[in-house]
Amino acid sequence: MLALIVPVVPAVIAALLLWQLPRVMAGEVLAFGWHWVPSLGISARFFLDGLNMLFALLISGVGAFVAIYAGAYLSGHPHLRRFYFYLLLFMVGMLGLVLAADLITLFVFWELTTIASYLLIGFDHSNAKARRSALQALLITAIGGLCLLAGLILLGITAGSFDLLEILELGDELRASALYLPILVLVLLGAFTKSAQLPFHFWLPNAMAAPTPVSAYLHSATMVKAGIYLLARLHPVLAYTPAWQWTLTLVGAATLVVAAVLALRQTDLKLTLAYTTLVALGTLTMFLGDDDSVPIAAAVTFILVHSFYKASLFMVVGIIDHQTGTRELGSLGGLRRAMPVTFVAAAAAALSMAGFPPFLGFIGKELKYEGALAIASEPLLVAGAAVFANALMVAVAAILVFKPFFGPRQPAGTNISEAPLALWLGPLVLAALGLVCGIATPLVAESLIQPAVTAILGRPEVVKMKLWHGLNLPLLLSVVTFTLGVVVYLLQRPIRAALQELLQWLPLSGDRLWDHFIDGIKHLAAWQTRLLQHGVMRRYLSIIFATVAAALGYVLLRNGDIAVDLEWPQLTVKEWAALALTLAGAMMAGAARAPLAAICALGALGVGLALIYLFFGAPDVAITQLLVETLFLVLIATTLHRLPVFSGVHTPRFRPLDALLAITVGAGVTLSILAVMQTPFDATTSTFFETAAVPEAYGRNIVNVILVDFRALDTFGEILVVFTAAIAAATLIGHRLQRKKH
Amino acid sequence: METALALLVGILTATGVYLMLARNLLRYLFGLILLSNAANLAIFTAGRLTRASPPLVPAGLEAPAVAVANPLPQALILTAIVIGFGLLAFTLALIVRAYRRLGTLDADDMRVAEPRKKPEQENRHP
């Protein structure tokens, strides 16, 4: 049931988009939305122009077929509902990302796709490899996402607005601003991580741990195209500079070449496709580096071509895997009679991928060559890279069709039946679209390509595309490409063996580097945890006291001078005696070696304090102090016999550093009290208690009245605290005594 | 005379801090006692010292006729003394309990929760 409903959602979205297509073709920009954070100038606005129309159509259109396919592929899976939820969540993220008309809104949806892709790649959560791949994709794209956020905020600040439509008009101002380069670097980091450009490419092949419908969706029309969309979207603002041109051209070309080489090495059908996706992404990046209309038209066309054939081929590989249980090239063969429909879909998609006429792929390839030759900066580099990539595409397409479907039947290929309709419908329709669009090239060019190119370049462009261009240089390059492709196909075994040999010599792959990076972070975390959480109480306390000293010192320094009354204190003899007793108690407690001596000293100190309270008008405090002192003595006396008071305690040594810290804290406290003394005394509260005690509380001992009447709730809390402490202490000490009795 | 008491508070604090930084938990406890006494005396001093009579209202009057000692810090200290006592009693109980369980009063040797041994590096290559 669900398998019928879910595909309807993207299908309806696609239909709605198609309904608006004529208006977009006419050059209209449709915008809608509402305020989100008006105080920051952020709004949840969306718009529709030629560029994001193309992307939105691909996301919803391919999404509908992937949803149908997933229903059959994962049929009976216990978490199918969860899968649909993730898939739709991802789709919403992608649609929001391409339609957003506000930088912050764009970023929020960008991160939504990151999170949804994490859930999708790690869908098989009981598989450690899937979990690792999902986390790797999440971390890499999220690191890029943070860079992107910084870049977008800088962009918004420089432009004075987060509204994308306004920013797109400000290209010249932004390129002239001092922040252009930081913005460019940060935005490119975001785009390159998302679209798996070198050196962040390794997460994409690893993400093949996902169920095949996910790969078919994420790696054809959506996730990895998000970075490409961003590059295209910000093209009017950030392009037209050597920095943009060179970075995109070189990174794209490098990605393309490395990925093409790595693709040939693979024997797993799905991994081979993953690497060809990298080739496609490198190609797109390379072409987006330019600002001529032909390379841009080539890029846009290739986005369309690639989405169709790649989604189709991924689903075909999924069908083969689903029906035979393997994706290894060596164990597959002769499936063409057993699975005729799948074979037709695979063949059509592969022909488009290889760029045979009259498929759309052919036009895409011709445009690429025309565009490469039109690129002003490095036509030979770009053209050479494009020929190299396409030749490998031809070879890979041939491998994908000939190996599994032709030749002798392999053991894994016996008793195989054709897949159900829901499985082959998507790949067949998408592959057929590659053919239909190829035949109806002028219509496609006018309705989809031209508006997108216009949006990317920020100026009206007319794109004319024909199937037959006549005999020219691009056609010659096509012939070269096919010849090269066939040669590579025929020599695939030796090439693969040679590559395996060669790659063994490479010291580190990106994947391994990533492991080292993650390990390094873990070690750093462990190291700093052991540094801060060392488990030594004295050091924790030292840090706390040092912080107290620093805070006191800071406040004292900020408040300025303290006038110290240097006169000899006017104290009476008995007051001197009380002070001396306290001081002596403190000193002796600090210096005492035996605990018993320290306890005696503390007793003396308590009495001294009680006397001070008594002499300075606080008899209540004095009484309490004496009572508590007595009580504590009783407590200590009853527990001392449980502790090694008389033996077993090592003799304390003098610790100069601790002493220094202690004196610093003590000096800070003394100076603070002196500073407090300098401030004028505010007696408002005290006067209130003095005058209100009798009339309002009918008590003559003002201190008692405060405690039991004005601040009765505080006193109640205090009682609770003491009560709790008593229960806790009794539990701690008494526990074993009770057990002994039993 | 405030200066004298401020100095006394500083000395009590310094001694308390020094004792609390010791390895022996009993000395730590003594330091805690000193520190809480120092805090009480600091509040008392900050509330201004006076040799005036205690804050009592004579019979038949609505308010004290002469200047009396500031009642507010006294009320605060009373609370603080009692709470401090609760804290000390609990700490003492903890120390007794810890000694029974671990057979030592040396805080450095109490490493049950945070052992000295370096934990194993887990899941290096999942």
Q: Which of B2, B3, B95 to mutate to test the interface with A (most CBs of A within 10 A)?
A: B3
Helices (H), A100-207: 103-121, 128-159, 164-167, 171-176, 180-194, 203-206
pLDDT in tens, A346-405: 999 999 988 888 888 888 888 888 888 887 667 788 888 888 888 888 988 888 888 888
Contacts of A128 in chain B (CB under 8 A): 126
Residue A648, pLDDT above cutoff 50: no
Contacts of A581 in chain B (CB under 8 A): none
- Backbone phi and psi for residue A30, each to the nearest 5 degrees, phi listed first: -90, 125
Shared domain for A412 and A475, answered yes or no, is yes
Report helix, strand and coil shares of chain A as percent, to nearest 5: 75, 5, 20
Q: Work out the minimum CA distance from A586 to partner chain B, whole angstroms.
A: 6
Q: Which of A155, A167, A283 is nearest to A225 (CA)?
A: A283
Q: Which of B56, B111, B118 to mutate to test the interface with A (most CBs of A within 10 A)?
A: B56
Shared domain for A551 and A439, answered yes or no, is no
Residue B123, pLDDT above cutoff 50: no
pTM for the whole structure: 0.73
Mean pLDDT check: name the lowest of A566-580, A647-661, A688-702, A713-727. Answer: A647-661
Query: Does A555 reside within a domain?
Result: yes
- CB of A658 closer than 8 Å to CB of B21: yes
Out of A586, A617, A636, whose CB is closest to B11?
A: A586
Question: What is the C-alpha to C-alpha distance for residues A296 and A284, in angstroms, rounded to an integer?
Answer: 9
Long-range pairs of A652-660 with CB within 8 A, sequence gap ≥ 24: A652/A593, A652/B22, A652/B24, A652/B27, A655/B18, A655/B21, A655/B22, A658/A538, A658/A542, A658/B17, A658/B18, A658/B21, A658/B22, A659/B18
Q: Which of A237, A134, A257, A112 is nearest to A177 (CA)?
A: A237
Q: Which of A519, A537, A711 to mutate to test the interface with B (most CBs of B within 10 A)?
A: A537
- Tell me if B44 and A621 make a contact (CB, 8 A cut-off): yes
What is residue B47's three-state secondary structure?
coil
- At A36 the pLDDT is 84
Chain A residue at shortest CA distance from B107: A537
How far is Cα of residue A477 from the mean position of the Cα atoms in its chain? 42
Q: Work out the minimum CA distance from B72 to partner chain A, whole angstroms.
A: 6
Out of A625, A693, A715, whose CB is closest to B79?
A: A715
Shared domain for A602 and A658, answered yes or no, is yes
Query: Does A203 reside within a domain?
Result: no
Q: Work out the minimum CA distance from A302 to partner chain B, whole angstroms.
A: 38
What is residue A30's three-state secondary structure?
strand
∠ Cα A425 A430 A433 (to 5°): 125
Query: Does A157 reside within a domain?
Result: no
Residue A297, pLDDT above cutoff 80: yes
- At A412 the pLDDT is 59
- The DSSP line for A345-406 is HHHHHHHHHHT-TTSHHHHHHHHHHHHHHH-SS-HHHHHHHHHHHHHHHHHHHHHHHHHHHS
Torsion sign over Cα A507, A509, A510, A515: negative
- Backbone phi and psi for residue A31, each to the nearest 5 degrees, phi listed first: -130, 145
Please count the structural domains in chain A. 2
Please, which pLDDT band fits residue A88 given cuts at 50, 70 and 90?
Answer: very high
Query: Does A215 reside within a domain?
Result: no
Shared domain for A466 and A324, answered yes or no, is yes
Shared domain for A454 and A373, answered yes or no, is yes
Query: Does A89 reside within a domain?
Result: no
- Tell me if B26 and A659 make a contact (CB, 8 A cut-off): no
- Tell me if B17 and A711 make a contact (CB, 8 A cut-off): no
Contacts of B88 in chain A (CB under 8 A): 632
- CB of A722 closer than 8 Å to CB of A635: no
Shared domain for A583 and A656, answered yes or no, is yes
Looking at residue A706, the DSSP 8-state letter turns out to be I
Query: Does A117 reside within a domain?
Result: no
Question: What is the C-alpha to C-alpha distance for residues A352 and A304, in angstroms, rounded to an integer?
Answer: 11
Residue A126, token pair as written in the block: 């009981």
Contacts of B11 in chain A (CB under 8 A): 583, 586-587, 666
Alpha carbon separation from A155 to A104, A457, A537 (Å, rounded): 11, 19, 49
What is residue A307's three-state secondary structure?
helix
Q: Work out the minimum CA distance from B117 to partner chain A, whole angstroms.
A: 11
Question: What is the C-alpha to C-alpha distance for residues A411 and A264, in angstroms, rounded to an integer?
Answer: 24
For residue A358, is the peptide bond before it cis, meaning its omega torsion is within 30 degrees of 0? yes
What is residue A138's three-state secondary structure?
helix
Residue A293, token pair as written in the block: 């209309």
- Backbone phi and psi for residue A465, each to the nearest 5 degrees, phi listed first: -130, 135
Query: Does A430 reside within a domain?
Result: yes
Q: Work out the minimum CA distance from A398 to partner chain B, whole angstroms.
A: 36
Residue A217, pLDDT above cutoff 80: yes
Contacts of B22 in chain A (CB under 8 A): 538, 652, 655, 658
Shared domain for A549 and A486, answered yes or no, is no
Q: Which of A582, A657, A672, A732 to mutate to test the interface with B (most CBs of B within 10 A)?
A: A732
Query: Does A453 reside within a domain?
Result: yes
Q: Count H helices, E strands: chain B?
A: 3, 0
CATH-assigned architecture of domain B2-50+70-109: Orthogonal Bundle (1.10)
Structure-token match 């978490």, residue found: A79
**Which domain, by its residues, includes A623?**
537-683
Chain A residue at shortest CA distance from B81: A625
Question: What is the C-alpha to C-alpha distance for residues A314 and A218, in angstroms, rounded to an integer?
Answer: 10
Shared domain for A586 and A439, answered yes or no, is no
What is residue A718's three-state secondary structure?
helix
- Find the CATH number of the domain harbouring A667: 1.20.120
Residue A654, token pair as written in the block: 């003098």
pLDDT in tens, A477-504: 888 888 888 888 888 888 888 888 887 7
Residue A740, pLDDT above cutoff 70: no
- Tell me if B22 and A616 make a contact (CB, 8 A cut-off): no
- At A742 the pLDDT is 46
Q: Work out the minimum CA distance from A503 to partner chain B, whole angstroms.
A: 21
- Please give the share of chain A, as a percent, with pLDDT higher than 70: 95
Helical pair A656-678 and B25-46, crossing angle rounded to 10 deg: 10
Contacts of B96 in chain A (CB under 8 A): 639, 642-643, 732-733
Q: Work out the minimum CA distance from B54 to partner chain A, whole angstroms.
A: 4
Please, which pLDDT band fits residue B122 given cuts at 50, 70 and 90?
Answer: very low
